[in-house]
Amino acid sequence: MVTATNSFRPDYAVPPGWILEERLEAQGVSHAEFARRCGRSAKLVSEIIAGKAPIEPETALQFEKVLGVDASIWLGIETDYQLHRARVAEAEKAGQELAWSKNFPVMELVKCGAINKPESGADSVNKLLAFFGVASVDAWKGRYGAANVAYRHSPTFRSSEQALATWLRLGEIAAEQQECAVYNEKQFRGALKQIRQLTVEPINIALRKTRLLCNETGVALVVIKSLPKTSLCGAARWLSPTKAIIQLSLRHKSDDQFWFSLFHEAAHLLLHSKKVVFVEGTSDELSDLEAEANDWAANFLVPRHSWETFVATRPRSAATVRQFAQTQGIAPGIVVGMLQHANVLPWTHLNGLKARYRWNDD
């Protein structure tokens, strides 16, 4: 016996309604008359001819009796047509998924060990879906298409939605590994006061202590390296009603940016709704909330009265900045950054007072 190893798959299929209409025209039978002979409604016959309704086995038997065409033929035409439609839909979906996957920093995920190297385009789709913990592209869009996140961004660069979602997901995975107490706002505020004092310590020591203080109050703290096509300094959001996350990127690799970002994100957790979506200043309302978080962070690092008195002296020297920072109990680099942001100092001035950070893999 010979077994066929290949089968012919035409790239088209004829809707059974077309065959039916040709048969009726050949026999000079109207749609309404044919419906009466079959004992079915004229609406059903019209929908079958238009391709809006399938031919069921019972209907095929009725067609057989009225038109003399075997019921199996009608069902075969219907099956071929529906199978063709399913193949077309599947191909379109696969093409859309492949296009979706190409927008993600897949090789960056491979380099950091988040996923194994995909063996094909389809494997890339599957690995990305598994990485995000969703079953389909539609599910991904529902969960990550509009992230519930507050973040600082470069005003001259808009982050890629896919790169941003990837960076956030890396933060979620890292946060899930941190055991945190149930969130307590009062304790978190107290922890932030202690964290403020840590800004003068070496970053490896300060970061370890800061993470512990955050975890004890229900907040996960993660530092995830920036990905290509992202320009974020930090993000803040709620993983559950009792656990929040502050995610920092160390994008600018200086202590003023790092610490200000941390307190900026902390402000979002303290001041703003858990359900608010912040997306790169897309509305005036969100811009106001970002400004409020900036004000809170600045006032927390340096009380407003002390800051205004200091700025009024128009400080220019490194010695003056160091002395003021010492009286406030914070790193001098933070003061330099705030002075630059307030246009009291040029962005090129006194940067030597800032501590510089680097990634171990740089």
CA nearest 264: which of 233, 306, 225, 302?
233
Alpha-carbon span 84 to 214, nearest angstrom: 57
Fold of 16-101: 434 Repressor (Amino-terminal Domain) (1.10.260)
Average pLDDT over residues 298-323: 96
Average pLDDT over residues 47-69: 93
Q: How confident is the model at residue 276, as a pLDDT? A: 59
Q: Where in the chain is the domain with CATH 1.10.260.40?
A: 16-101
Confidence band, pLDDT 50/70/90 cuts, at residue 142: confident
* 328 φ, ψ (degrees, to nearest 5): -90, -15
> Does residue 150 sit in helix, strand or coil?
strand
List the 150-153 sheet strands across, edge first: 150-153, 232-240, 243-248, 219-223
Read off the DSSP letter of residue 283.
S
Read off the DSSP letter of residue 254.
B
How many CA atoms lie within 13 Å of 201's alpha carbon, on the beta-carbon side?
12
Average pLDDT over residues 313-334: 96
Instruction: Work out the mean pLDDT of the chain and round it to a whole number.
Output: 87
Q: How many CB atoms lie within 10 A of CB 56?
A: 14
The model carries a pTM of 0.74
- pLDDT of 90 above 80: no
Confidence band, pLDDT 50/70/90 cuts, at residue 335: very high
Q: How many CB atoms lie within 10 A of CB 348?
A: 7
DSSP-assigned letters across all residues of 56-110: -HHHHHHHHHHH---HHHHHHHHHHHHHHHHHHHHHHHHHHHHHHHTTS-HHHHH
User: Of the ranges 52-56, 146-150, 164-168, 247-251, which one carries the lowest mean pLDDT score?
Assistant: 146-150
